[in-house]
Amino acid sequence: MADHPTDVSTAAAGPGPASPTGRATGLRPLGLDAVRLDPAGLLGRWQLRNATATLPHCVRQLDESGALDNLRRAIGEVDGAHVGMRFSDSDVYKTLEAAAWQLGRDPGDHAAREFIRSTSALLARAQEADGYLNSYVQSDPSRSRWEDLEEGHELYCAGHLIQAAVAVVRAGAGSDLLAVAGRAADLAVEVFGAGGRDAVCGHPEIETALVELYRATGRQRYLDLAKRFVDLRGQGLLGENERFGRAYFQDEVPVRSATEVTGHAVRQLYLLAGVVDVAVETGDQQLLDAAERLWESAFQTKTYLTGGQGSRHWGESFGDPYELPPDRAYAETCAAIASFQWNWRLLLATGARRYADEMERALYNAIAVAVSADGESFFYSNPLQLRTGHDGSHEDAPSQRLSWYSCACCPPNLARLIASLQSYVATEDAGGTQLHLYSAGSVRTSHGQIDVDTRYPWQGHLRLTVRSTRSEPWTLALRVPGWCTAVTVSVDGEPVDPATVDRAMAEGYLRLTRSWQGSSTVIVDLPMPVRLVGAHPKVDAVRGCVALVRGPIVHSIEQADLPPESCLEDVALDVSAPITVTDSGEGTLVPVTVTAQGLLPTAAGSSELYGAYPVPPAPLTRLRLVAIPYFLWGNREPGPMRVWIPTVPAPSTTGTPLSESKEKS
């Protein structure tokens, strides 16, 4: 198929991170400036914090960590040896992408614009004549190109360079960086394209980047190479990894026949995002079916309650089905972001609610927890339990967020996601507009404008003002989250037909079709009682425990909310006691808390590690048990935390019904 040329030199602000072409079926993402997130809402506040704290912090750290100097060193502008990880260039590229999305959201951000300008110029100087660009290899004459595809990350870094360049173009910030990325991509086509070397990168990522470069430029060779990389995966081209085996690289089984997510979680999930991109652009239903089949493996047997992915520190990998220990959870931040990106692509391709549900779950829990309240420190791994006496001296599993990491992949990854967060809120198609994520703000599509007034996710009340100049009918589709068991809706004061609501509960989207000409008000109420959630019996690590979940928010208990003399591991939850919700309002560190009845032993139990069964029951005393949103733990002081709480009495095997809750103002 011939290229469809695109003039990128004069491109104005365009779509966000994933933009299927017109030939791809499914939902269409909106332009960068089509959605505005109000800072009065949670997502808007996150974007503001990202712009004023996280992104500037990442830019500073690129200098302090030596990542920018590595590029200068490669061309003799700085002396010394390469410092840090061999893939440190990718930290620069992800921060560039974050700056581009920030500039697309706020064209007046001069700091972001200058960072893009100066860093693009540095990369142009560092790039070799044939397009090769990798500071680790270029800084040492003894190193050869493409000699270590298993762990060298050369194509991985090139992928992040490409994604940054596409972001800069879509933000309307020029095409200088795209010229650099295009040369790098052309070299990859020359070396690894049809007739070239049969090989894949040990860390998938370039696949989805090449598809997006194809979408931005219309050059078919980039899509062809992405498809080739996907088709070559699983043929054992990377050799047998001495520590983890081929499954670590997803190079043991071809994608089209794989039935289980395996190996390094981030690599697996980035690969699957690229698989969906290739599938929708080539019309390859078999490939899309494979992605959905692997989604079942990931989300039915290997995903944490928070949406976290990866249960093993060894290999940063997926474990066996139902192997989900809360205290040993790796749940890398980058894996949660990759999961979010993969689910976004599946949502665009299919329109199915379950993918938007998983985006929401990851966003409010596994992703949000990784950033401190001030936006300048981060978790790399995200356990669901931190034990008393935990040794947090190693950055692999610290007791509190750190300002940076020797492997700094997560902070700039967070920055680029949050900077582009508005791009994931809504979509459109020929029939209307779809809202997937709820937050205060406004959405503008070809059908009209929707202003959203809500305190979601703290409350389930949505007030939508719909304005349109169109007289012909179109459909406003509103996601009904999978956790929701009831919904009430009215349009201009008139209740929506119960049959329409019932259909929405079953299908996942409330579809309101009418002429929206003029101005209309839609009121949606999604009740948010606290839910007692149990795990599948095969998740042995949390058997006999429950978690407190409200709306999309998973809650946790911290030592900071317990009496000083108590120990978190001794706490049990009385599931028969009432649970209340306290709403303290915006402007507080913890806007909403859940309060339950806890129980503590009144005397120390046996000091024996093992003893006779049954264990004699200890006298118990009641205490007020306060649970905060999991994503906010660790912002007050380092200390123990847990999501899964032992119960007294134990829940029945048939499940525990939803608890009643009362909101207190």
What 3-state class would DSSP assign to 67? helix
Q: What is the mean pLDDT of the chain?
A: 93
Residues 502 and 553 in one domain: no
In a domain, 508, yes or no: yes
Taking only the tens place, the pLDDT of each residue in 276-295 is: 999 999 999 999 999 999 99
Taking only the tens place, the pLDDT of each residue in 390-436 is: 988 888 888 899 999 999 999 999 999 999 999 999 999 999 999 99
Q: What average pLDDT score do residues 477-499 get?
A: 96
Domain stops at, among 525, 543, 567: 525
In what helix (H) or strand (E) does residue 47 lie, and over which residues does it extend?
A: helix 42-49
Residue, of 617 and 430, whose pLDDT is higher: 430
In a domain, 416, yes or no: no
Residues 452 and 510 in one domain: yes
Confidence of residue 619 (pLDDT cuts 50, 70, 90): confident
Q: What average pLDDT score do residues 293-299 get?
A: 98
In a domain, 3, yes or no: no
The residue among 662, 660, 665 whose CA lies nearest residue 583 is 665
Taking only the tens place, the pLDDT of each residue in 148-157 is: 999 999 999 9
Residues 479 and 619 in one domain: no
User: For residue 289, how many other CB atoms are within 10 A of its CB?
Assistant: 12
Residues 117 and 135 in one domain: yes
Q: What average pLDDT score do residues 655-664 get?
A: 36
In a domain, 418, yes or no: no
Residues 91 and 236 in one domain: yes
- What's the confidence (pLDDT) of residue 3? 57
Of the chain, the percentage scoring pLDDT greater than 90 comes to: 87
- What's the confidence (pLDDT) of residue 448? 97
Choose, from 201, 334, 409, 545, the residue flagged as catalytic. 409
Taking only the tens place, the pLDDT of each residue in 174-222 is: 999 999 999 999 999 999 999 999 999 999 999 999 999 999 999 999 9
Question: What sign has the CA pseudo-torsion 331, 334, 336, 342?
Answer: negative
Residue 139 in this model has a pLDDT that exceeds 90? yes
The residue among 346, 318, 527 whose CA lies nearest residue 436 is 346
- What's the confidence (pLDDT) of residue 660? 36
3-state secondary structure 571-635: CEECCCCCCEEEECCCCCCCCEEEEEEEEEECCCCCCCCCCCCCCCCCCEEEEEEEEEEHHHCCC
User: 69 lies in which domain range?
Assistant: 42-241
Residue 663 in this model has a pLDDT that exceeds 80? no
Specify whether the CB–CB gap between 136 and 143 falls below 8 A.
yes
Residues 165 and 211 in one domain: yes
Is 316 an annotated catalytic residue? yes
Write the CA distances from 42 to 47, 305, 611, integer angstroms: 9, 21, 49
Number of domain units in the chain: 4
Residues 112 and 225 in one domain: yes
Residue 665 in this model has a pLDDT that exceeds 80? no
Residue 2 in this model has a pLDDT that exceeds 70? no
Choose, from 207, 316, 360, 376, the residue flagged as catalytic. 316
16, two tokens: 């966000």
- What's the confidence (pLDDT) of residue 239? 76
- What's the confidence (pLDDT) of residue 293? 98
3-state secondary structure 24-37: CCCCEECECCCEEE
DSSP string, 150-183: TT--HHHHHHHHHHHHHHHHHTTS-SHHHHHHHH
Confidence of residue 608 (pLDDT cuts 50, 70, 90): confident
In a domain, 337, yes or no: yes
Residues 542 and 566 in one domain: yes
Indicate the pairing of strand 432-435 with strand 474-479.
parallel
Q: Which residue has the tokens 């100087």?
A: 125
Residue 654 in this model has a pLDDT that exceeds 70? no
Domain stops at, among 206, 241, 276: 241
- What's the confidence (pLDDT) of residue 649? 66
Taking only the tens place, the pLDDT of each residue in 589-602 is: 999 999 999 999 88
Confidence of residue 24 (pLDDT cuts 50, 70, 90): confident
Taking only the tens place, the pLDDT of each residue in 321-347 is: 999 999 999 999 999 999 999 999 999
Residues 87 and 175 in one domain: yes
Residues 6+ apart with CB under 8 A from 142: none
In a domain, 390, yes or no: no
Residues 6+ apart with CB under 8 A from 465: 450, 451, 453, 519, 520, 521, 522
In a domain, 37, yes or no: no
- What's the confidence (pLDDT) of residue 9? 36
The CATH number covering residue 470 comes to: 2.60.40
CA atoms within 13 Å, Cβ hemisphere of 239: 8
Residues 466 and 614 in one domain: no
In a domain, 14, yes or no: no
Residues 180 and 68 in one domain: yes
242-256, 294-308, 412-426: least confidently modelled range: 242-256
Q: What average pLDDT score do residues 48-59 get?
A: 98
Helices (H) and strands (E) in the chain, counts: 16, 23
Confidence of residue 662 (pLDDT cuts 50, 70, 90): very low
Residue, of 7 and 82, whose pLDDT is higher: 82
Is 409 an annotated catalytic residue? yes
Indicate the pairing of strand 580-583 with strand 663-664.
parallel
Residues 343 and 483 in one domain: no
Residues 6+ apart with CB under 8 A from 539: 322, 324
Residues 6+ apart with CB under 8 A from 372: 378, 401, 634, 635
Domain stops at, among 525, 544, 575: 525
Q: State which amino acid sits at residue 433.
A: T
Predicted TM-score (pTM) of the model is 0.95
525, two tokens: 């109420």
